[in-house]
Amino acid sequence: MKQFFITFFANLAALLFVFGGPMLLLLILIAASFSSSLKNKHTVTLQRGTILVMDLSMNVSDSPEHASDNSPFNGALGGDDTRSMTLRSLLSALKKAARDSRIKALFIVGSFEPTDFGTGYAALKELREAILDFENTGDHKQVYAYLEAPSTRDLYVASAANTVYLNPYGEIEAPGLAVVKTYYKDGLDKFGIDVQVTRHGKYKSAVEPFILDKMSPEDREETQKLIDDLWGEIVTTVADTRKMDPAVLQQLVDTDGYIQPQHALDAHLVDKLSYFGDVLNDLGKIAPASDYAKIPLPFQQIAIGDYINASRTPRLLGERGGDNQVAVLYLEGEIVDGWGDTTNIGGDRFAAELRQLRKDNDVKAVVLRVNSPGGSAFASEEIQHEVIALKAAKKPVIVSMGAYAASGGYWVSTYGDRIFAEPNTITGSIGVFGMFFDAQKLFTNVGITFDTAKTGAYADFETISRPKTDAEMALAQARVEDLYGKFLDKVSNSRGIDRTKLDEIAQGRVWTGKDALDLKLVDEIGGLNKAIAYAVQSAKLSDYYVKEYPEKVTFADTLEQLLSNQEEPVSQIKPDLRLNPAALIKPDVLTQQYLKAEGELKTLQEFNDPMGMYARMPLGWDIK
């Protein structure tokens, strides 16, 4: 590292004489980046009687290398400043704070900002359980939450607090869950683009937005069942901690839609109607500030991000030490063929990660944290092959399912020695499809034609200049049937489920983690920490430490790749979660719809399986 900087800056000084301006600009950018980094650091003094502040204005990601901050220059250039924290860092901080005599209470404020596959309900269930553990550990510390216009996600977590405040002019924006899917068939027809599909599984609806203009009966059936189950878990969980009858909460939702403050108070969904300043004064009485002039709030407080950084050791919070390593490998995003990038799961890249873990003698067990809707069947198989090799090397492989572990996400999970899921994990979707675009009409409309010479009947199979022939579609369907059969064989073999029975529950259908447990698709309900504990037990470790993969990229590595014109790696995320009660500015509804469509169409860029075969759950599962 030191030698890199010596060499880099020596070369930079020499090049300044040659290139002058461009290199000076680069130097300014580097300086700005360092300046931004230093600006975000603030001295933390933790005194007895401090309140830990958890600002929910963030994205809770599984992987440390989340795509919300993929450049060290973002701060300097005014890029995306969405704050992101990992689930495990939050869980570890709350566990440590529960035993920390200096921490008197926890204060929850703000509203989540979900990004990509982050802040899913499975992760939030782990977070709220950690909050409940904080309350019930040791001195039974109090938890306070202040809400203004909380979403369902916000309410789900904040309802774990002992005391919940709601702004008198606010409202609870939790009218239930909805899945609004976008269909592109008519639009594609207008442009002269046709889509041909092959699939196995009557519930394998990932292709339907491109061939239909509304939900198929099967898609509507599974969608309704899934959101009913997810919503039922939310209502039951919130009502339980707020000591309400679930039926009362459901009636409130159905009557108000957006629950009004007085109605929420009357139903005991919240405890007090108070303005933010009054809440701060209440907290000031509980934990008076020792020097109000030097801190922005009238109570002794520390942001959870600062608490994590102040408590950080070379090893993650909560481990006992030793040389035995439990590796946690995060598979988050779409599964794509090849190396992929920082926003998805490249089959080659993660197969290489698994091979490296297999060869590392310090690694005694591996936990796969899967948060993926699936994708390339070829890439999923590459990853699964290395999972099986890890097991053959006598290293336990434990799977922890996040918000999604469906289709290809289930494919890579099925050979785990034990599979953990949350009740609201979305999994299953055991099915396969192929999708082929035909742009002949589009080209014809603009005066472009094609002609072909070939040496085999299927030599131009991959062309988009014409529709597929009946023979070609039969060939594609045969490949789908073959791959679906292999998928069934793998799950039947790994899970010990009769193949005929498995075929009945497969068919591309998605299930909640609770249903998956009943169907024997998963082994146990539990989160990431429970999976890690099981891995420790399976490897019979008394001393161990946990290391997360893919490893974070250093700033030096970023500069080195930048100067060599390689793809820029993800930098370490350094969140700054000092309390900021300002209301969030959300995009207008038209912009939200545009961004949703843009995201779904962008997914097509990740359909790069070399065989054109995909194991992916349906598009459009943006559950609100």
Catalytic residue among 89, 380, 407, 571: 407
Q: Which two tokens stand for residue 465?
A: 């200049």
Q: Which two tokens stand for residue 280?
A: 């701060």
By the 8 A CB rule, do 617 and 407 touch?
yes
Amino acid 590 reads: L
Cα atoms found within 13 Å of the Cα of residue 17, Cβ hemisphere only: 4
Residue 509: how many other CB atoms lie within 10 Å? 25
Q: Which two tokens stand for residue 544?
A: 């161990």
Q: Which two tokens stand for residue 26?
A: 């680069």
Cα atoms found within 13 Å of the Cα of residue 182, Cβ hemisphere only: 15
CA end-to-end distance (rounded Å), the chain: 45
Residue burial 29-53, b: 16+ Cβ < 10 Å; e: rest: ebeebeebeeeeeeeeeeeebbbbb
Give the H/E segment covering residue 94. helix 87-99
Counting runs of H as helices and runs of E as strands, what totals does the chain give?
Answer: 22, 22
Q: Which two tokens stand for residue 240?
A: 């339980």
222 CB contacts (<8 Å, ≥6 apart)? 203, 205, 509, 510
Amino acid 409 reads: G
Give the rounded distance of the alpha carbon of 147 from its chain centre.
Answer: 24
Active site residue 204: yes
Give the span between the Cα atoms of 451 and 460, in whole angstroms.
11
By the 8 A CB rule, do 241 and 160 touch?
yes
Burial class (CB in 10 A: 0-12, 13-18, 19+), 619: buried
User: Strands 59-61 and 325-332, how do they pair?
Assistant: unpaired
Give the H/E segment covering residue 109. strand 103-109
| Helix 2-19, helix 21-39: angle, nearest 10 | 140
By the 8 A CB rule, do 192 and 441 touch?
yes
Give the rounded distance of the alpha carbon of 12 from its chain centre.
Answer: 39
Residue burial 261-279, b: 16+ Cβ < 10 Å; e: rest: beebbebebbbebbeeeeb
Catalytic residue among 104, 204, 490, 514: 204
By the 8 A CB rule, do 487 and 204 touch?
no
DSSP output for 369-411: EEEE-EEEHHHHHHHHHHHHHHHHTT--EEEEEEEEEETHHHH
DSSP label at 57?
Answer: -
Phi, psi of 186 (to 5 degrees): -65, -40
Burial class (CB in 10 A: 0-12, 13-18, 19+), 284: middle
Residue burial 460-495, b: 16+ Cβ < 10 Å; e: rest: ebebebebbeeebbebbeebbeebbeebbebbbebb
**Catalytic amino acids?**
204, 407
